[in-house]
Amino acid sequence: MESCHKFSFPLLTLLSLYMSFFVAHAEGSLTPRPFNNKITAGFVFGDSTVDPGNNNYVKTLFRGNFLPYGKDFRDHVPTGRFTNGKLSTDLIVSYLGIKEYLPPYLDPNLSIEELMTGVSFASAGSGFDPLTPQISSVISLPKQLEYFKEYKKRLQSAIGNRRTEAIIKEAVFLISCGTNDFVVNYFTLPIRRKSYTVSAYQQFILQSFKKVLQDLSDEGARRIAVTGLPPMGCLPAVITLYSKNAIFERGCIENLSQVGMEYNQMLQNELNSMQGRLAHLDAKITYVDIFTPLVDMIQGLGKHDFDEVSHGCCGSGYLEAGFLCNPESFVCNDASKYVFFDSIHPTEKTYINLFMASRPVIDSLIQD
């Protein structure tokens, strides 16, 4: 891994990396389930992969509430989602028959009826490491959990304790986070590398994750899905920064992806262990693999029909993300031909493919 530690990056490059990261997979028609009265709501915690616009209400540069983000969303409106259309969490709540989109909790215009069916607390740029959200001045995971507790109190005041508890008990929870910790915080910045080896940092992140999961369980969460890390070396921005000749050599940086693969195995082992410890609460905890589906899309396995897999639709696609992908940027004609919309974040089609790949996991999570 030493070769990854010798780069020094200009400020603009660092800022372009201080966005969030994620990946996704699989293709097919989106057929909603028959309306399921049992699943009451969806609640989401994490980073830009699942932030529908909370950062619009935070003093940070890490926002996506301007075009070309949202160019293929309803009415072509940029909402704060770091993609051209819907996020996978929007697809999930629609599939479950809850509602069409999962809104940001910090939107001051949400009605009680909207709150009752779920929100996202996620914040682009966040991570499990407490230092990660500080870098970009965004909402930490502990703060997201505080907002969830605040949310419960708001609901209790409006509809009573019993109804609130019933909503939480039968809701689906999703945690999608961790890529910023490794790509930005560990490999780009020198602070954590001075104190942690790669394996020690993986354990550090895992311990922070366990605290989040335990806190959610203590607050009543019983159906919890957790995404692993993507093949981080395949993100276009990472390829650009770590390739010897990024213009002509656009292959994945395998040693960074290997770190994600190792962490994912550790995460799965921990989830299996926690499932056993929480069995008496009738809890379900499941792992969502995003690593394999994205690798399949990038390698052209299956019938994905992507024309471009190593740079994004916005700008050059090599480094632009967040404010570097803006209304003045060049934008490709058809984002569905691209795995990535900017140099970090997937297109809506990629999120659709991810949803389709994870649907069996979702089905198992909501079954009694």
- Quick: pLDDT tens for 176-209: 999 999 999 999 998 899 999 999 999 999 999 9
Residue type (1 letter), 336: S
Catalytic residue among 181, 311, 345, 358: 345
231 with 253: CB under 8 angstroms? no
Q: Give the whole-angstrom CA distance, residue 98 versus residue 307.
A: 34
Confidence category of residue 249, pLDDT binned at 50, 70, 90 = confident
Q: Mean pLDDT over residues 210-228, rounded?
A: 97
DSSP letter, residue 350: H
Catalytic residue among 16, 20, 48, 140: 48
53 with 119: CB under 8 angstroms? no
Catalytic residue among 107, 304, 342, 343: 342
- Quick: pLDDT tens for 35-91: 555 899 999 999 999 999 999 999 999 999 999 999 999 999 999 999 999 999 999
Specify whether 107 is catalytic. Answer: no
Q: What is the pLDDT of residue 6?
A: 38
Q: What is the pLDDT of residue 245?
A: 86
* Of 63, 41, 60, the residue nearest 110 (C-alpha): 41
The β-bridge partners of 223 are 284
CB atoms within 10 A of CB 275: 15
Confidence category of residue 4, pLDDT binned at 50, 70, 90 = very low
Q: Give the whole-angstrom CA distance, residue 268 versus residue 226.
A: 9
Structure-token pair, residue 356:
């389709």
Confidence category of residue 19, pLDDT binned at 50, 70, 90 = very low
341 with 85: CB under 8 angstroms? no
DSSP letter, residue 35: P
Q: Which segments of 260-325 are extended strands (E)? A: 284-288
More confident: 260 or 29: 260
Confidence category of residue 286, pLDDT binned at 50, 70, 90 = very high
Domains detected in the chain: 2-366 (3.40.50.1110)
- Quick: pLDDT tens for 79-116: 999 999 999 999 999 999 999 999 999 999 999 999 99
Specify whether 368 is catalytic. Answer: no
CA distances from 284 to 131, 140, 153, 209, 367 (A): 30, 25, 24, 17, 10
| Rama region for 37: left / alpha / beta (φ>0; ψ in -120 to 50; rest) | alpha
Half-sphere exposure of residue 207: CA atoms within 13 angstroms, side-chain side: 7
Q: What is the pLDDT of residue 349?
A: 97
Percent of the chain with pLDDT over 70: 89
Specify whether 76 is catalytic. Answer: no
Q: At a CB cut-off of 8 Å and minimum separation 6, what does 208 contact?
A: 128, 129, 130, 141
Q: Which residues of 229-250 are buried (b: 16+ CB within 10 A; e: fewer)?
A: bbbbbbbbbbbbbbbeebeeeb
Q: What is the pLDDT of residue 280?
A: 82
Q: At a CB cut-off of 8 Å and minimum separation 6, what does 39 contact?
A: 96, 97, 98, 170, 171, 172, 366
Q: Give the whole-angstrom CA distance, residue 153 versus residue 122.
A: 19
